[in-house]
Chains A and B, each alone.
Chain A
């Protein structure tokens, strides 16, 4: 893999992760528990899609093959998507969504904090904006996890189930492969391993306040960042991409 291949893959991983999560959250539109929460989730979704757009435009430029940000988002196949598996997990129960939001957003806030200093100016620019957005996403999710965990017996058991549901997808966030190593060496990427203690401490803090039990660290799923996905991503892409595939080049 050449350095420029690694660079492109690195940007696509960031872009795909933010877009897929943004789309997942948009599925709550008109289905959230209350009207207020509906708008809150749509806002967070829009933050993530905004992050993705800049990154896709950057990836398209790095690739230099004349593809647009829309081509990258809407005309790639499932095994070309390089997002973390945690963000493609289905929304299921609201508590599952909040567990996923807490785990990913806590990681993302730390990651963007590191990427603010990236030598890739586009990544650094997105990171400066995204870090602030993620600070709010963490706050939103943490409040819900605490509210539900420390709520009624029903909400407590469902929040615990949510946490248990997503836990084995959290390990992938801290993996390092040849792409990461090359990008860290180039001053473009960050070292995810170094963020793990801070992430765990933040998670443990919320879990304790929510009177929940931290799931035991067992088998961790992996592969999303190399195009291996759960059965759920294909369904998500089918819905997300149908318009561009049915009407190529369609514009609003």
Chain B
């Protein structure tokens, strides 16, 4: 019932120690303000976030799984290994990268 009536929103949180917003899930809401409040109640109960974004799911333009080969395959490690910096020896002094 409600699935038909209320639009879907995607929720992004900026973690307290993180720099960018990350997708955490989705929810239903009848308007933007309700989406924000629902996001707060559903996804930040344990102090996860320092900021919330909600975006109407229909506003997201997604790549189709069928396009994956043409769109994303050419840049994989097997096809363009030189784009993946795995040939370098990292000096010990650099530490964890």
**Chain A residues packing against B (C-beta within 8 Å):** 33-37, 39-40, 43, 136, 139-140, 143, 147
Contacts and interface: CB of A to CB of B under 8 A. Distances in A.
Given A43-B41, A140-B37, A36 B29 contact: yes
A143 B41 contact: no
Contact of A43 (B6, B31, B34, B45): B45
B21 to A, nearest CB: 20
B30 A36 contact: no
B17 interface: no
A143 B40 CA distance: 14
Contacts of B41: 36, 39-40, 43
A39 B39 CA distance: 10
A35 B40 CA distance: 14
B6 A40 contact: no
Contacts of A33: 2
22 contacts: A33-B2, A34-B28, A36-B27, A36-B29, A36-B34, A36-B38, A36-B41, A36-B42, A37-B38, A39-B41, A39-B42, A40-B38, A43-B41, A43-B45, A136-B40, A140-B37, A143-B33, A143-B34, A143-B37, A147-B30, A147-B31, A147-B34
A37 B45 CA distance: 14
Nearest to A146: B33
Contacts, number: 30
Contacts of B30: 147
B34 A139 contact: no
A225 to B, nearest CB: 31
Nearest to B44: A43
- Most-contacted residue by chain B among A36, A43, A136 (CB, 10 A): A36
A140 B29 CA distance: 13
A124 B96 CA distance: 47
Sorted nearest first, the 3 A-B pairs with minimum C-beta distance are A36-B38, A40-B41, A39-B41
A36 B31 contact: no
A139 B28 CA distance: 19
A226 B10 CA distance: 49
Contacts of A37: 38
Nearest to B6: A34
A46 to B, nearest CB: 9
Contacts of A139: 37
B3 to A, nearest CB: 10
Contacts of B40: 136
A139 B34 CA distance: 10
B69 to A, nearest CB: 37
Contacts of B38: 36-37, 39-40
Nearest to B31: A147
A33 B29 CA distance: 11
Contacts of A43: 41, 45
A43 B42 CA distance: 9
Interface in B37-76: 37-38, 40-42, 45
Nearest to A142: B33
B42 to A, nearest CB: 6
Contacts of B34: 36, 143, 147
A36 to B, nearest CB: 4
